[in-house]
Amino acid sequence: MNYSRGEVMTNIIIGTAGHVDHGKTALIKALTGIDTDRLKLEKERGISIELGFAFCLLPSGRRAGIVDVPGHERFIKNMLAGVAGIDLVLLVIAADEGVMPQTREHMDIVRLLQIDRGIVALTKVDLVDEEFLKLVREDVNDFLKDTPLKDSPVVEVSAVTGQGLEKLLEKIDEVPVEGKDTSGQARLPIDRAFSVTGFGTVVTGTLWSGVIHTGDNLEIMPQGLVARVRSLQVHGEKVKEATAGQRVAVNIAGVGVEQAQRGSVLAKPGFLRPANRLDARISLLANVQKELENRTRLRFYLGTAEIPGRVILLDREKLLPGETAYAQFLLEEPVAAIKGDRFVFRSYSPVYTLGGGAIVDSASRKHKRMREEVIEALVTRELGRPAEQVESYLKNQKTIQNRSDISRATGINEEETSRSLQELAGENKVYILTVDHDQFFISRDVYRQWVEKLTELLKKYHRQFPLREGSPREELRSRLFPQFTARQLQALLKIMEEENILSPGSNTVSLKGFQPKLEDGQQEIIKRIEDTFYKSSFQPPDWESVSSGEGFNELQSQEVLQHFLRQGTLIKVAEGLHFHAAAIEDAKKILVVYLEKNKEISIGEIKTLLNISRKYALPLLEYFDRIKVTKRVGDKRFLIKPKTTANGV
């Protein structure tokens, strides 16, 4: 495969697979010169336990990153972490043993993750004669015929003699590999984390999508920790940016090694949302020995993460070997994923591979089982047109969503998401809220549900508090829309106001047309109380004595008092002391006239002027201080004259 000058060479990541001791690590060392067994125990035991990494130049000049995975069945979880994000599988089968148990289990995993490009390396050919090798070839071909690698080349090699190594590299170079999405959001599942003296935390992984630059702020999910990229390495060389499809080492600041372990994901801030519930289409391997029962506890593998959880079958009690169905995973720890991600699940104990699938909803709600509408919604979410998928997603949300949220959750790119939202808005299937120059979207069905709930709540509130103008806006938000910001709620209420459903006030919300009103028989009581305060002028009665005299309980007393205060009939001068508004206005006029003539006034003088005791005189003066009619200097009050402009206004 030749590349002309200026043509972009696609990055390629190769992952090994195969039974223990079939020569994977030796083959990688022969191809690259790198020994991927880095642990002392691996050297002593002669098997790979952890993931190993290497790279080499292909004949075309492309660089290939290689992930060497363990073959021992006890370390299958490490193998699963290694094959996440690979482009091509290098299936290693030893000529002196042929197809073995872990060969089959690794191939099951390759099938479940839908890795359909690969090469088969028939190793250790120097250890067998031609007759035995012929039998092994037949065994391998028979094994491959029902696998994703059925048409893949089989290359006979020896890491000891070097036989077939050049041919193997040529065959790898000939495999067509699609480039990863560099335009998408950066996402790197972490498969290794360690500390380097003088540099701090370093994490490694295969960059699934997007681009990472030195200096970027990224998020470690599902923990939600922010880390800054100090430096980057690709194939051991320092670079300023890493692109999708490359093996990357990222030196990060602000996060310790213990906070960035395998299973975490390094991603653009805000791109991923941690969740414990995932909807998925799952398949049970045809070769497992028993059916999968509802709520079975198992081990869930996504990217480099291993998480225990339970599988909830949504339309049946048991899934038979070879069958496919929709299910929900209820995980014991949150995971950060997006729609379309492939995963594998294994039995909890003893541990063996059961099946796998693809995520349909990466942050789902709890579903009722055996419901046709639930399955129909999942079919739409998985297979529907983009607009149908967006509509289905929005129908299941309890809050408004912006375009990026919708794109991330549905797995549809932002351009297509935007077109879908325009289509749905034109069909009156979604509402658009504009908040701080950002657009948010709501399904019409969800909006109608909110209107119904809000209407019922306000009807109840108006019945309970007929004298109030409406429910306090913040109380409404905390009860019905805790996930909304104040501005988002304001935008939602504006739509309801335009539809003549509500009348939002500055701090309250009421149903359209509602007016505070007195109940039958209350009008006479209200008039009597108002007359009492009016006639009392500058020496008003205590509110408690007035309300108890009318037979009010504590709640009724406060409701009527607040009614008077909202109407402006009574004015609170001090705690427990309320004046009629007319009395306040009369006192103000008398005080202003006096001060214009005498310049100052004392408490004794105000007592004489209004013919009241100190009990009323001092609170009145302090009230006039607060509303900027007077200013206190020592024991005296002086008139505050209104400021005038150059025009005398």
Residues 365 and 396 in one domain: no
Whether residue 511 is contained in a domain is answered as: no
For the record, the structure tokens of 245 come out as: 């499809």
Whether residue 512 is contained in a domain is answered as: no
Whether residue 182 is contained in a domain is answered as: no
Q: Which of 374, 393, 415 is the last residue of a domain?
A: 374
Candidates 214, 210, 197; CA nearest to 265 is 210
Residues 163 and 205 in one domain: no
Residues 165 and 210 in one domain: no
Instruction: Identify the sign of the CA torsion 441, 447, 453, 458.
Output: positive
Whether the per-residue pLDDT at 2 is higher than 60: the answer is: no
Residues 297 and 338 in one domain: yes
Q: Which residues contact 227 (CB under 8 A, 6 or more apart)?
A: 201, 217, 218, 219, 220, 252, 253, 254, 255, 260, 266
Bridge partners for 302 per DSSP: 305, 343
CATH number at residue 263: 2.40.30.10
Give dist(CA 195, CA 290) in Å, integer. Answer: 44
Whether the per-residue pLDDT at 192 is higher than 60: the answer is: yes
Instruction: Give the total number of structural domains in the chain.
Output: 5
C-alpha distances (whole Å) from 37 to each of 54, 86, 437 are 11, 20, 54
Residues 45 and 140 in one domain: yes
Residues 144 and 199 in one domain: no
Percentage of the chain exceeding pLDDT 90: 56
Residue 211: strand, helix, or coil: strand
Residues 388 and 489 in one domain: yes
Q: Which residues contact 465 (CB under 8 A, 6 or more apart)?
A: 559
Q: Which of 344, 374, 404 is the last residue of a domain?
A: 374
- CB contact at 8 A, 16 and 68: yes
pLDDT per position as a tens digit, 135-183: 999 999 999 998 989 989 999 999 999 999 999 999 999 988 877 777 7
Whether residue 5 is contained in a domain is answered as: no
Residues 306 and 278 in one domain: yes
Whether the per-residue pLDDT at 265 is higher than 60: the answer is: yes
Q: How confident is the model at residue 76 (pLDDT cuts 50, 70, 90)?
A: low
Place of tokens 């599942």: 189
Residues 149 and 207 in one domain: no
Domain assignment of residue 485, given as a range: 384-496
Give kind and range of the element (H or E) at residue 324: strand 324-336
Q: Which of 318, 348, 374 is the last residue of a domain?
A: 374
Does the pTM surpass 0.75? The reply is: no
- CB contact at 8 A, 92 and 68: no
Q: In what order do the strands lie in the sheet with 630-633?
A: 600-601, 636-639, 630-633
Whether residue 471 is contained in a domain is answered as: yes
Residues 485 and 529 in one domain: no
Whether residue 55 is contained in a domain is answered as: yes
Position 3 scores a pLDDT of 36
Whether residue 516 is contained in a domain is answered as: no
Residues 141 and 58 in one domain: yes
Whether residue 649 is contained in a domain is answered as: no
Bridge partners for 193 per DSSP: 203
Residues 411 and 489 in one domain: yes
